[in-house]
Amino acid sequence: MNGASINGIVNPMATVTIQLPKGCSGGIVAMRSVSDRHVIAHGRSLKTVLKKASKAGTTSPALMFVPNLNGRYVY
């Protein structure tokens, strides 16, 4: 796993790199866990992604928002 951990807690500001399927920008991706970063589902709505992740056998996936290419986001 990337990033430092303190007392077993991973730094939330750590860099995470995942391999995205084509056409996956501007939506939500689901992975089995933060340590297993293989994308198991993706889509534009949370409901769709959770449904696909459930069909893939994961009841509590790790979710990540993927911005549009060339877009700017401020959090």
> Residue 55 is encoded by which pair of tokens?
């069909």
How many separate domains does the chain show?
1
Strands 27-31 and 62-66 come out as antiparallel
Position 27 scores a pLDDT of 83
Among residues 18, 54, 23, 69, the alpha carbon closest in space to that of 39 is found at 18
Q: Is residue 75 part of a domain?
A: no
Q: Is residue 1 part of a domain?
A: no
Domain with 42, as residue range(s), is 20-66
Position 53 scores a pLDDT of 94
Low-confidence ranges of the chain (pLDDT < 50): 1-2, 5
